[in-house]
């Protein structure tokens, strides 16, 4: 075994593991991660990292009844029969994995609201972390993670893969200067209905803005270096709140049996959130996110980013730059191989490519630079989506969630939606005309 080995444990074996994390770990176990560094513009580190082995050492999921972790282990051993990979189960499964498996890296890919605890436990044990987005849902949690990472000298990388989308990256780095002063951004990311009604059981504990809107928040903060100063948010609760009734219509129109639906009762979650942010440079960002896109929509998701400047405008749309195909019996669909495409070598394995894998490689590179190349974690800020960069994103998520809740309540009671939020770098204030005149402090950073 090479002395330069990163033993990786993964918490969560759901949709994103199947699509990106699992296939990427197959590739990294087979040949390391140095070959993926060109996709993040850091290929000059390839010679220094080419001999670093990645060892997938533990997979953990919550319920033993489904046997997901055992299935993942069995599938992985089909290709790597000598791999030292174990499967684990439990509500806090990462603790058993950390205690038993001598891990270097914990990949956190569970529900949005459990990231915080798993990250802190991993840092306390001396591990580095790669976590799925959003990093957390509350700003106090973000503060704890940032402080713990700094104290431990460890990496917390967040899978903000839209930073590495080549179309988005080209517009944000090469085109923006030609647009002159940017005055408006319109961003859309809509997930399919199955995400909220079948795939995730935890949708009532999060919302579509936190789940996918965070991608666009990160892109804007990273490439434009702006901070929020004001926010307005509203949302809809129509389809999911009435899922016990609407599932019949959805199923029948799609030729399915309503009784086969995974969830039969009302789902107390947002259909959509619509968030308007005013930034410190006067720019406005309009963010629209749902997880109820109809099953017959042409793409896996609908995503758009539009940038308006004084002298120009840029627009990136997944369907416009995607791969359209029509298959008899399956209909017409748009695919996005730039995110998670597959190359199948003749008579050999398949290999993942795209910006989903690139984001994981960015996190692994930061970890390797600290673990093996003598870098201090503080030196690497800005070279990957680190915990500190996610603090402002978390502030927006927390404020939007509270403002939308209050506006929804007031709309039901009074048919008005008047609540907003104000930001400083250290504070979130909820401005509610039916509340205290000076506003209500939602968050205040400890001095």
Residue 98 confidence (pLDDT) above 80: yes
List Cβ neighbours of 18 (8 Å cut-off, separation of 6 or more): none
Beta strands in 98-248 (DSSP E): 105-108, 128-131, 156-158, 182-192, 228-236
Q: Are residues 353 and 282 in the same domain?
A: no
Residue 167, Cβ density class (10 Å: 0-12 exposed, 13-18 middle, ≥19 buried): middle
Strands 105-108 and 128-131: parallel
Residue 117 sits in the same domain as residue 199: no
The pLDDT tens digits of the residues spanning 207-227 come to 999 999 999 999 999 999 999
Q: Does pTM top 0.85 for this prediction?
A: yes
Sort strands 427-431 and 420-424 into parallel, antiparallel or unpaired.
Answer: antiparallel
Residue 2 has what pLDDT?
Answer: 53
Same domain, 181 and 318: yes
Q: Which secondary structure element, helix H or strand E, spans residue 46, and what is its range?
A: helix 46-49
* Domain identity same for 316 and 347: no
Rounded to the nearest integer, the mean pLDDT of the chain is 95
Q: How many domains does the chain have?
A: 2
Same domain, 182 and 153: no
Instruction: Kindly state whether residues 205 and 273 are assigned to the same domain.
Output: yes
391 within some domain? no
Residue 398 belongs to some domain of the structure: no
Residue 51 sits in a domain whose CATH number is 3.40.50.720
Residues 173 and 292 in one domain: yes
Give the pLDDT of residue 347.
67
Same domain? For 13 and 131 the reply is yes
Are 228 and 373 members of one domain?
no
Secondary structure element (H or E) that encloses residue 78, with its range: helix 68-79
Q: Are residues 95 and 63 part of one domain?
A: yes
Identify whether residues 320 and 348 lie together within a single domain.
Answer: no
CA distance 372 to 50: 12
Q: Taking 50 as the threshold, does the pLDDT of residue 120 lie above it?
A: yes
Domain carrying residue 23: 5-161+340-386
Q: Are 182 and 308 in contact (CB under 8 A)?
A: yes
Sorting pLDDT into bands at 50, 70 and 90, what band is 1? very low
Q: Are 406 and 419 in contact (CB under 8 A)?
A: yes
- Choose among 99, 107, 141: nearest CA to 124: 99
Say yes or no to pLDDT of 255 above 80. Answer: no
Asked, for residue 196, whether it belongs to a domain, the answer is yes
| Token pair listed for 23 | 């296939």
Q: What number is the average pLDDT over the span 181-206?
A: 95
């Amino acid at each position: 075994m090479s002395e330069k080995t990163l033993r990786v444990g993964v918490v969560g074996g759901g949709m994103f593991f199947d699509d990106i994390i699992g296939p990427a770990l197959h590739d990294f176990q087979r040949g390391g991660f140095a070959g993926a560094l060109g996709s993040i513009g850091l290929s000059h580190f390839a010679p220094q990292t080419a001999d670093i082995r990645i060892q997938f050492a533990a997979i953990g999921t919550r319920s033993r009844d489904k046997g997901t972790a055992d299935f993942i282990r069995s599938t992985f051993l089909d290709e790597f029969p000598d791999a030292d990979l174990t499967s684990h189960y439990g509500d806090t499964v990462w603790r058993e994995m950390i205690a038993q498996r001598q891990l270097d890296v914990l990949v956190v890919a569970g529900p949005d609201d459990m990231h915080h605890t798993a990250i802190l436990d991993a840092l306390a044990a001396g591990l580095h972390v790669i976590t799925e987005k959003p990093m957390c849902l509350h700003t106090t949690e973000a503060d704890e993670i940032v402080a713990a990472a700094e104290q431990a000298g460890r990496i917390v990388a967040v899978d903000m893969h839209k930073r590495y989308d080549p179309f988005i990256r080209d517009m944000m780095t090469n085109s923006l200067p030609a647009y002159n002063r940017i005055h408006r951004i319109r961003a859309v990311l809509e997930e399919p209905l199955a995400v909220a009604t079948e795939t995730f059981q935890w949708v009532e504990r999060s919302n579509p803005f936190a789940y996918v809107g965070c991608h666009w928040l990160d892109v804007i903060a990273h490439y434009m270096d702006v901070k929020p100063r004001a926010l307005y948010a509203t949302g809809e609760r129509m389809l999911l709140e009435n899922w016990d009734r609407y599932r019949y219509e959805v199923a029948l129109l799609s030729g399915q049996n309503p009784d086969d639906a995974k969830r039969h009762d009302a789902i107390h979650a947002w259909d959509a959130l619509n968030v308007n942010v005013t930034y410190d440079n006067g720019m406005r960002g309009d963010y629209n996110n749902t997880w109820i896109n109809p099953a017959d929509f042409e793409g896996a998701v609908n995503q758009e980013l539009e940038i308006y400047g004084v002298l120009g405008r840029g627009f990136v749309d997944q369907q416009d730059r995607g791969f359209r195909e029509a298959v008899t019996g399956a209909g017409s669909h748009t695919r996005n191989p730039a995110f998670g495409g597959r190359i199948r070598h003749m008579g050999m394995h398949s290999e993942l490519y795209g910006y989903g894998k690139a984001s994981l490689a960015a996190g692994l590179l930061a970890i390797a630079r600290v673990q093996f190349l003598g870098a201090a974690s503080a030196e690497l800020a800005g070279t990957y989506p680190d915990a500190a960069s996610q603090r402002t994103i978390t502030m927006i998520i927390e404020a939007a969630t509270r403002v939308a809740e209050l506006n929804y309540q007031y709309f039901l009671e009074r048919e008005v939606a008047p609540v907003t939020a104000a930001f400083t770098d250290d504070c979130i204030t909820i401005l509610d005309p039916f509340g205290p005149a000076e506003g209500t402090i939602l968050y205040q950073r400890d001095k």
